[in-house]
Structure 1
Amino acid sequence: MGNSQDQQTAASSAGFDVYHKHGSSVRVNSEVLLQTELKSVHPSDTVTWVEAEDCDFVGFAEAGHAKARLHDGERTYTAIRKYQVPLRSLDEPQGSVADNILFACWDYEWSGRWLTCYKFRWVDNGWQVREYYAIVTEKGDLKDGRCSFAEDLIKTCGTWTQKLHDEIYVYEDGNWEKNKALFNAVSKASWDDVIINPAMKSNLIKDIDSFFNARSTYLEYNIPWKRGVIFHGPPGCGKTISIKALMNTVRQTGVSNLYVKSFKASGCQSDQASIREIFTKARAVAPALLIFEDLDSLITDELRCFFLNEVDGVEDNDGLCIIGSTNHLDRIDTTVAEATEGFTFAYLKELFVQTLLMHVGGHADLAVDYETTAAPEGRDKSEKEDEVSTVLSTSLEANTFYQTLRKQMETLAEDLEVENRKDDGDEHHPEDQVERKSEPGKDMIGGDDDQE
């Protein structure tokens, strides 16, 4: 046993020599050199190289799916200690420290078998970070020149790596990153906190939920299983909180969340290449909710055709529900807007809602719904009044702020009716209009009762 341990230590030390030698000299292709040199360290074994981005062997073990025992000797572990700024100083005032591993070696156990696992990290001549694992297995179970045990491990670990683990995919600076901070923010979002028209809220939830549950129906009628929706309205009207609540709802049913911040990338990557990467990833993890906030600033004239080709081109977008939001629907090209459905949030102002909540006590959605939305098709206004009146509490009806607000809204509605009759050529009486307009002044909070 002692000789075997000494041999493993010597091998991992020799692996470090390969890494150190390569990092200290001129090189052209790091991957070729390191693979060749490491093979010479393990001549009687099979060495399989895997991109760390695709298979996180260490994370897989930390999650309890394997065992990893680190060789922590001076010549078998090289890392840069770094301070990590807290995601939220309220939760973690002092931040944390972690290793940025450059070279490491582990004894790795999975499915009852032990193997050797290396990790290499370096910066190439183009200043791109390269990160690989190399797993060393016995040659006994080769199939078509490949180790079948290593292949099974890669498939299992790769499948686990690509899944979200209390994370959300965020695309920024030309890369997809798993973001725990956004996940934490989204997981706190609730539809109870979304103050919009209750009917629209209900329709929105049902619309998205029914889409993800209707795959068989789409297939039965040979319809592409994809959707596109635009949320539009002024800033602060409820678009973002609705998106967060929607993301939290669908993630609980196994739907992946992908959030796009920008198409811009450092280096030479074009915006078109970023769009391509975004949709390639979304298709890979579907069913998925793909979010584009501030769509009007993302889709420029130069990108419009390319973006539309990804949305409605020949590629298979089954399982994708694309959500775009904008403050300015008129700035979005009509071809993009027409490729989606729309939910307008334009009638609701966040400041108005916050003020109403302070004075009314949480029933702003009912008040706004009553005065600013039309009754559903097939129902007259009296039915809508009866429905709302059964929900409003007596304390709300007696609230001074609510009474004043309601009178002003009634006056506004009457004025709009007068204008509509005027446009239709119906007779109207100007004196009635003047009288109605004079009433709100008497009811304004802090108003002068003696004004003429």
Structure 2
Amino acid sequence: MTRREILNTVLNAPPDAIVRTLFEAVRTHFPDWHIAEDYGVDLERFARKNDLPFSPIEEAGIDQQIFHYRGKAHTETFQGWHLLEWGSETYELVVLTTRGSHGKNRDTFLIGRTAEAIARLVEAVAEWAREDRGSVLTFEEGCWKTSEELRETVQSTRFESLVLAGDLKERIRGDISSWLEAKETYERFGIPWKRGLILVGDPGNGKTHAVKAIANEFDLKVLYVRSFSCEHASDQANIANVFKRARESAPCLLVLEDLDTLVTPKNRSFLLNEMDGFASNAGILTIGTANSPEKLDPALADRPSRFDRRYVFDRPALSERESYLRLFTERLDPALRLDDAAAEVALVTEGYSFAYLKELVLSGMMAWISGGRDGRFADALLAQAETLGIQMKNEPPPAAYVSPRRDYDEDDDD
């Protein structure tokens, strides 16, 4: 039986017999080879990133689809049989895509000369994934993409440049640091070594900045999820893809951006199951952000085993506005530094988010330059503050969120 005939036989088998049929066919027709599942490691990515010889075996046939994402063409293999060379060994990789109860399932299987050779390759891929720190992958439209732009932003973001209320910054840093240092303690007492934080508050108040600072300070591989929806795969299949990659990459930071829109009635149950960890989620730090926490499903937001702590990012008070204005302008030309005038500008910016404060400085800078650089830069900001204040009043207000009178970094009840 040829490889093409094996694939045809396997794909025509009942869904619950596909894996068994593949294993039996390989063992029958290639008795000197061993076959195993991929153990959750990404063999295709490992081959591409390390420039290994990796090509389809033409006689087996191949089923691929070309789709476009952000102006570039990408190829996805649905069914195929590939040849992979690593070190002195030759392997074959079988890709099967079948339709299950939650959409399409894409599985890969590794064939090698010995079980030991397969184990060596799987261990090498897993080790490579663990060491691939500092990289940032984004998931959108059903695809993982390396984001050099986001990686550079992460590397340039420091906690020192983050202005937050009170000791919020220190509590977040301490929470994560304690968790990372407690791996052996978790394992000794049989507690899953995973952590979940949720950052809530109106847009523009530092949630994204905090996530980038966390990624930088703790040197974790970052998986940044912007959407579970796409045209060529179901939400459930994409969620499975996300958590499979997170488990391969652990310890890692898994960012679920805008949970209040990311989670829908259609994908809710599947996401909860993945977060509860039918498969091990050890080593995964999950951080979710939400602009409208009142829209979050209580089963997601109020369950410590999913998100253990919540941190509220309120609009900056007077002292935070003054600190931000000083910090932001001290990097500019000396003529643009506010120094003591920061307190004066902070007084007229009540209700501003950090994003609006940044816009105030930038628009004030343009007005000051176009005005011939006459007078104090602070006066240009005071004039711009009036204009921006009118704009803010005319915008639809964000969804109201009033912080309950309790410490949000304490564990919630079930």
RMSD, aligned CA: 5.8
Q: Is residue 103 of structure 1 aligned with residue 63 of structure 2?
A: no
2:174 and 2:341 map into 1 onto residues whose CA distance is: 22
Match for 2:313: what amino acid? T
**1:419 match:** none
Q: Is residue 78 of structure 1 aligned with residue 33 of structure 2?
A: no
1:81 and 1:407 map into 2 onto residues whose CA distance is: 52
Contact 1:231 1:239 in 2 (8 A): yes
**1:233 match:** 201
Q: Is residue 180 of structure 1 aligned with residue 146 of structure 2?
A: yes
For residues 388-444 of structure 1, what are the alpha-carbon distances to aligned partners after superposition, in whole Å with 9 as ceiling and x for unaligned?
A: xxxxxxx99933526847999xxxxxxxxxxxxxxxxxxxxxxxxxxxxxxxxxxxx
Find the partner of 1:49 among 36, 39, 51.
Answer: 36
Identity of aligned residues (%): 17
1:84 and 1:341 map into 2 onto residues whose CA distance is: 38
Cα gap change, 1:397 to 1:316, in 2 (>3 Å): farther
Match for 2:153: what amino acid? K
Contact 1:196 1:365 in 2 (8 A): no
1:299 and 1:97 map into 2 onto residues whose CA distance is: 27
The gaps in structure 1 that reach 5 residues or longer are: 1-10, 90-94, 139-146, 373-394, 409-452
Match for 2:157: what amino acid? W
**2:214 match:** 246
Cα gap change, 1:365 to 1:269, in 2 (>3 Å): farther
Q: Is residue 326 of structure 1 aligned with residue 290 of structure 2?
A: yes
2:342 and 2:120 map into 1 onto residues whose CA distance is: 60
Contact 2:336 2:377 in 1 (8 A): no
Q: Is residue 30 of structure 1 aligned with residue 18 of structure 2?
A: yes
SS in structure 2 of the partner of residue 75 of structure 1: helix
Contact 1:296 1:329 in 2 (8 A): yes
Cα gap change, 1:283 to 1:397, in 2 (>3 Å): farther
For residues 266-305 of structure 1, what are the alpha-carbon distances to aligned partners after superposition, in whole Å with 9 as ceiling and x for unaligned?
A: 86969xxx6x99889867755443434445567899x89x
Cα gap change, 1:120 to 1:233, in 2 (>3 Å): closer
For residues 4-58 of structure 1, what are the alpha-carbon distances to aligned partners after superposition, in whole Å with 9 as ceiling and x for unaligned?
A: xxxxxxx9xx2233324655xx432333333333333223x0331324x823434
1:123 and 1:18 map into 2 onto residues whose CA distance is: 15
**2:119 match:** 151
2:144 and 2:131 map into 1 onto residues whose CA distance is: 10
**2:28 match:** 40
Structure 1 residue 346: Cα displacement: 0.9
The gaps in structure 2 that reach 5 residues or longer are: 348-372, 387-414
Match for 2:146: what amino acid? K
**1:401 match:** 379
For residues 297-336 of structure 1, what are the alpha-carbon distances to aligned partners after superposition, in whole Å with 9 as ceiling and x for unaligned?
A: 67899x89x979x78x9x9987665534333466676956
SS in structure 2 of the partner of residue 342 of structure 1: strand
Higher relative contact order (CA 8 A, sep 6+): 2
Structure 1 residue 78: Cα displacement: 2.7
Cα gap change, 1:213 to 1:46, in 2 (>3 Å): closer
Structure 1 residue 366: Cα displacement: 8.4
Q: Is residue 17 of structure 1 aligned with residue 1 of structure 2?
A: no
2:112 and 2:381 map into 1 onto residues whose CA distance is: 77
Structure 1 residue 180: Cα displacement: 1.7
Contact 2:137 2:146 in 1 (8 A): no
Match for 1:48: what amino acid? I
Cα gap change, 1:364 to 1:242, in 2 (>3 Å): farther
**1:289 match:** 253
Matches within 5 A, 1:156-305: 156-161=124-129, 167-168=135-136, 178-181=144-147, 184-189=149-154, 190-191=156-157, 196=163, 203=170, 206-207=173-174, 210-211=177-178, 214-215=181-182, 229-250=197-218, 253=219, 255-261=220-226, 286-295=250-259
TM-score by length of structure 1 reads 0.52
Structure 1 residue 188: Cα displacement: 2.0
**2:355 match:** none
For residues 344-399 of structure 1, what are the alpha-carbon distances to aligned partners after superposition, in whole Å with 9 as ceiling and x for unaligned?
A: 3412799x98xx97998465998269947xxxxxxxxxxxxxxxxxxxxxx99933
TM-score by length of structure 2 reads 0.56
